[in-house]
Amino acid sequence: MNYRTVSLFSGIGGLDLGFIKQGFNIIWANDFDKYAVESYKANIDSNIVYGDLNNYLEDIPEHDILLAGFPCQPFSLMGKQQGFTDERGTLFFTIERILKKHKPKVIVLENVKNLLTHDRGKTINKMLGILEDKLNYKVYYDVLNTSDYGLPQTRRRVFIVGFLIEEFGEEVDTFTFPSPEKLNETVFDLLDENVDKKYFLSNRILPTILSNGSKNYYSKSEINLKIAKPLTATMHKMHRANQDNYYEDFVNRNKFEDTAEKRVSAIRRLTPNECRKLQGFPDNWKYVVSDTQLYRQFGNAVSVNVSEKLAFQVKKVMEKKYDGESNGKIN
């Protein structure tokens, strides 16, 4: 069956890719970041629209499934946590308008796990009230960790899945989130064989990066972690090692000489290509933007392995409803 899918706040398509792998058809997508749109067009499809979603509401086609990794900054610990008072936080109500008009059979929303505790739980309860009581969806939500689905990165995100009760009837009770799986690789299995000198830390900045912070913000710095800390959209700024990921790499360090202008250590940050791998994007991914934008894009993205596992669970419910019991498996 052709599951017509619309994607909002698509970014570079981490959520979309998982659903595409499971046979869902993305017929329309949107994002307000022009660099993310460039990457999406180069790697997924040209059917993504660049610009403010509110300007394109009338252009959204009829669809069966709505995907939306709506902006997380209003709820993130990395942001100011202003919630619905932040203009970006009100985009949930834009989603509500779209759901009222199109009544998609299934909705899949993604955000930071802090959404569940924001404003002492009032924010998530308001969202659930709208989805369940006003729009008549049976809603499930859970926090999924990237490291539980085959990628060595600690990345916990909340996923909200809703099934339109009038469409699915008793089938709405058959959905389950994907079960955690054994992790069979570490970051060291994904590190690049050849790494440019520009990714290595200078001896001058090294003490700052490896420090444990100040008395007002103390957190132990660690390097060489087998399971990476969460990738962030600000990796290009190089935070201390208590926040970002750093690794010793003597093999590549020994391939180049110091200069009078810069003496470098054997410790480096992750490359954009390694970030791609830690987020599950394919090896043939085309890089059409700068390193700074690549760090932002992979740091903001939904892990593809997680979205594919989730898409499979959603597909099982839909196939049971429309095609009979599913016997499919993710390879």
* Same domain, residue pair 25 and 167: yes
Residue 328 pLDDT: 42
Whether 329 is covered by a domain: the verdict is no
* Same domain, residue pair 199 and 218: yes
Residue 107 structural domain: 4-181+302-322
Closest CA to 305 of 114, 191, 141, 148: 148
* Same domain, residue pair 30 and 163: yes
Catalogue the active-site residues: 72
Whether 330 is covered by a domain: the verdict is no
In this structure, what are the phi and psi dihedrals at residue 144, rounded to the nearest 5 degrees? -110, 135
* Same domain, residue pair 87 and 106: yes
Q: Residue 140 forms beta bridges with which residues?
A: 161
**pTM score:** 0.91
* Same domain, residue pair 95 and 228: no
Whether 133 is covered by a domain: the verdict is yes
Whether 58 is covered by a domain: the verdict is yes
* CATH number, residue 16: 3.40.50.150
* Same domain, residue pair 282 and 312: no
* Same domain, residue pair 31 and 103: yes
* Same domain, residue pair 114 and 211: no
Dist CA 150 CA 153 (whole Å): 9
* Same domain, residue pair 198 and 289: yes
Whether 327 is covered by a domain: the verdict is no
* Same domain, residue pair 159 and 284: no
Kindly report the three-state secondary structure assignment for every residue of 79-141: CCCCHHHCCCCCHHHHHHHHHHHHCCCEEEEEEEHHHHCHHHHHHHHHHHHHHHHHCCEEEEE
* Same domain, residue pair 67 and 209: no
Residue 215 pLDDT: 66
The Cα-based distances of 286 to 38, 40, 329 in angstroms read 10, 10, 28
Residue 325 pLDDT: 44
* Same domain, residue pair 263 and 115: no
- pLDDT digit string (tens) for 248-289? 999 999 999 998 778 999 999 999 999 999 999 999 999 999
* CATH number, residue 234: 3.90.120.10
Residue 329 pLDDT: 42
Residue 90 pLDDT: 74
Domain count, the chain: 2
* Low pLDDT (below 70) residues in the chain: 72-89, 214-215, 324-331
